[in-house]
């Protein structure tokens, strides 16, 4: 993965120079002199000084399996590196690095590293790294929590939350880089976003990625896709309409059409820019057709047309970000694990799983109707709800290559949710072999976060 690099640009102004003309003068030859002959005494040549061994020694190289992602390297360095001293194959390494003076150990993140020999240079001292990797689709098993862009925009609060996640045993965070407002909060060079006024950068890639990786957290960038009032207003041809008015979903916001090429092109370009910013995974949310009052009046195609449109979009995103090695995940409704159709929104979990690395059903027990799975009130039975949903969903994605990583409830809607309810969901998933999960608390308070996970 190509990490953001700090570039030092030096501008040189070249001024014009006028050389005055000089009249030609015939050269004057000095009188010829003969130097006396001097016989020098022979001296022995100096003894060559052996070149000292490299001051940078590799202690731990790339993991044996990676998918073109960042790799951790552990080296022993006799010199403390400055921020810009470390290079891998001539390119600046990731902003994240740590040098332990007591042991002269230097940890850095770099990559992606294809098979072969690579050079690591620290303060001008070079060592070699042998990378033997297998490129595959298997995403890592992560346990994370969600952070809004607004909370993450405060550097102190961001670092505090990242540290808290790591302290309780989580290894990932999900941060909004584009939410349902249509705004883009990560400072990335996406020309359409700039033209339509969608850019509202709260943090730079170096700030967000650097803080997450400094806390040893896997960073998932959440992109809300087709609920997008900014794009709908700026490019009406991309939007859903009822008559001559924009269609508004349940939240009162406009939606754009996955079938329109301009819609897909914008989101694909954004995904490409975010992947290049150095995140570990891109998570697509609201990757579906809209729901809300009047949805029956929309031209939403047939079931196969809806599923096909979502599949084409996912394929386009995957093709765009694959060269970076960034993983791709998709959020889906919890009911997709059980439903026999696309829920009229184009989400068919088996088809989606074939196109992404991770599929994340939103298994919040409070969001299931009374009587679902034969449970009088799923919200009062968090373990049973997660068990039943996963039991239906796991066979549907078997053989796809995608991981099942459910969203679990860490907030109170009707029944109080505290540590026991959160732990009950986690334990229910683990009992079925699902050890990765994401915790959602829209308030980002996480009062129900267990002390150790």
CB 185 within 8 A of CB 176: yes
Q: What is the C-alpha to C-alpha distance for residues 222 and 322, in angstroms, rounded to an integer?
A: 17
DSSP state of 284: E
Q: For tokens 């308030």, name the residue.
A: 443
Topology at the third CATH level for domain 143-440: TIM Barrel (3.20.20)
Provide the token pair at 50: 């052996």
Question: Above 60 in pLDDT, residue 69?
Answer: no
Q: What is the structure's pLDDT at 207?
A: 95
Q: What is the structure's pLDDT at 99?
A: 78
Q: For 228-261, b where at least 16 C-beta lie within 10 A, e where not — what string?
A: bbbbbebbeebbbbeeeebbbbeeebbbbbbbbe
| Average pLDDT over every residue of 14-21 | 39
Q: What is the structure's pLDDT at 339?
A: 95
Q: What is the C-alpha to C-alpha distance for residues 125 and 69, in angstroms, rounded to an integer?
A: 25
Q: What is the pLDDT of residues 309-319, one digit of tens each?
A: 999 999 999 98
Residue 43: pLDDT band by 50, 70, 90 thresholds? low
More confident residue, 406 or 136: 406
Q: What is the structure's pLDDT at 87?
A: 84
Q: What is the pLDDT of residues 393-426, one digit of tens each?
A: 999 999 888 999 999 999 999 999 999 999 999 9
Task: Kindly report whether the peptide bond that precedes residue 112 is cis, defined as omega within 30 degrees of 0.
Answer: yes
Question: Above 50 in pLDDT, residue 357?
Answer: yes
Provide the token pair at 436: 């990765």
Report domain extents, the chain.
Answer: 56-131, 143-440
């Amino acid at each position: 993965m190509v990490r953001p690099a700090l570039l030092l640009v030096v501008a040189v102004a070249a001024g014009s120079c006028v050389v005055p003309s000089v009249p030609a003068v015939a050269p004057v030859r000095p009188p010829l002199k003969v130097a006396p002959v001097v016989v020098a005494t022979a001296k022995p040549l100096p003894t060559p000084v052996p070149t000292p061994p490299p001051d940078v020694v590799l202690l731990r190289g790339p993991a044996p399996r990676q998918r073109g992602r960042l790799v951790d390297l552990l080296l022993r360095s006799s010199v403390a590196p400055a921020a810009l001293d470390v290079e891998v194959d001539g390119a600046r390494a990731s902003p994240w690095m740590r040098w332990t003076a007591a042991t002269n150990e230097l940890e850095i993140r770099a990559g992606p590293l294809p098979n072969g020999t690579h050079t690591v240079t620290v303060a001008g001292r070079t060592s070699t790294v042998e990378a033997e990797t297998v490129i595959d689709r298997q995403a890592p098993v992560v346990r994370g929590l969600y952070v809004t862009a607004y909370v993450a925009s405060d550097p102190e609060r961001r670092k505090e939350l990242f540290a808290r996640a790591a302290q309780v045993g989580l290894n990932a965070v999900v941060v909004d880089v584009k939410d349902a407002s249509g705004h883009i909060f990560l400072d990335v060079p996406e020309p359409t976003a700039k033209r339509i006024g969608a850019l509202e950068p709260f943090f730079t890639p170096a700030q967000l990625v650097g803080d997450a990786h400094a806390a040893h957290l896997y960073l998932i960038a959440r992109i809300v896709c087709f609920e997008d009032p900014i794009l709908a207003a700026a490019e009406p041809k991309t939007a859903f309409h009822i008559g001559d008015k924009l269609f508004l979903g349940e939240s009162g916001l406009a939606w754009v059409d996955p079938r329109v090429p301009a819609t897909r092109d914008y989101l694909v370009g954004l995904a490409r820019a975010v992947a290049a910013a150095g995140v570990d995974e891109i998570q697509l949310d609201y990757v579906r057709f809209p729901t809300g009052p009047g949805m029956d009046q929309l031209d939403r195609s047939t079931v196969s047309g809806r599923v096909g449109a979502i599949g084409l979009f996912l394929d386009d995103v995957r093709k765009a970000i694959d060269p970076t090695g960034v993983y791709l995940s998709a959020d889906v409704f919890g009911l997709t694990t059980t439903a026999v159709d696309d829920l009229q929104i184009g989400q068919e979990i088996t088809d989606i799983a074939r196109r992404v690395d991770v599929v994340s059903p939103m298994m919040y027990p409070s969001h299931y109707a009374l009587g679902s799975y034969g449970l009088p009130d799923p919200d009062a039975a968090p373990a049973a709800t997660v068990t039943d949903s996963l039991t239906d969903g796991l066979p549907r994605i078997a053989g796809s290559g995608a991981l099942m990583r459910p969203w679990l409830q860490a907030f109170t809607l009707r029944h109080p949710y505290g540590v026991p309810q959160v732990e009950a969901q986690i334990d229910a998933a683990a009992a079925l072999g699902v050890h990765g999960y994401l915790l959602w608390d829209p308030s980002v308070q996480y009062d129900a976060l267990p002390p150790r996970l």
